[in-house]
Amino acid sequence: MTQDDLKRAVAAAALDYLRPKLQNDTVLGIGTGSTADLFIDGLAALRGLFNGAVASSETSARRLRDHEITVYDLNAVNQVDFYIDGADESNRALQLIKGGGAALTREKIVAAVADQFICIADESKLVHTLGAFPLPVEVIPMARSHVARELVKLGGDPVYREGVATDNGNVILDVHNFAIPQPLATEQQINNITGVVANGIFALRPADLLLLGTPEGVRTLRPEH
């Protein structure tokens, strides 16, 4: 089975999980990336069973609209019932690294509002300790060098993601060689650097459920503490 097959399987499992829970007023939060894209494509068949969606990126919003799914501004809805998104890494507490697609800030906002966060990922994303994947940090452009120096003080090697502007008009630093044994503390520490908009550690708001694609089938993981 290829990684794409596993992504397809978790996207289908998320649709199976959600289908009986959808109601006329259900609003879904939709993430960004190749796994989220597969979920969006499958969601088209369920269009009539829920109210609409809030997207974590302009790319996902376009894809949803292409499938004639109503896309709301987050400020126009009172609740987001479920947030479905991929991840770059997850540990067993379902604390994540996200932002490989540069959408981390909006992903964090939608996840913060959502009642339930369902992460969908292939088995390569499950790790013991976060940090093998370079940690994305969204930064106000004029603060780029300052933030990079502060990230070096924390022990990482920040690399400017050339040619990338986020949907919010900011830049991304990817922090390499940065093991994250204490995700909660590190998330807060990086948030405290002036000029940081958001960082890709999702520990303050971890996932509630991880659907993990493996060659033996989709595993359902809940946070281990």
Chain contacts with ligand 5RP (rule: CB under 6 A): 31-35, 85-88, 98-104, 107
211 bridge partner residues: 120, 220
- Please list, in sequence order, all residues whose beta carbon lies within 8 angstroms of the beta carbon of residue 139, skipping any fewer than 6 positions away: 147, 170, 171, 172, 173, 195, 196, 197
Tokens of 25: 């007023």
Smallest gap, in angstroms, from Cβ of residue 209 to ligand 5RP?
Answer: 15
Smallest gap, in angstroms, from Cβ of residue 132 to ligand 5RP?
Answer: 14
List the catalytic residue out of 68, 89, 107, 138. Answer: 107
Residue closer to ligand 5RP, measured from CB, 107 or 150: 107
Residue closer to ligand 5RP, measured from CB, 49 or 127: 127
Residue closer to ligand 5RP, measured from CB, 104 or 126: 104
Residue closer to ligand 5RP, measured from CB, 88 or 150: 88
Give catalytic status of residue 58 as yes or no.
no
Q: Which residues are catalytic?
A: 107
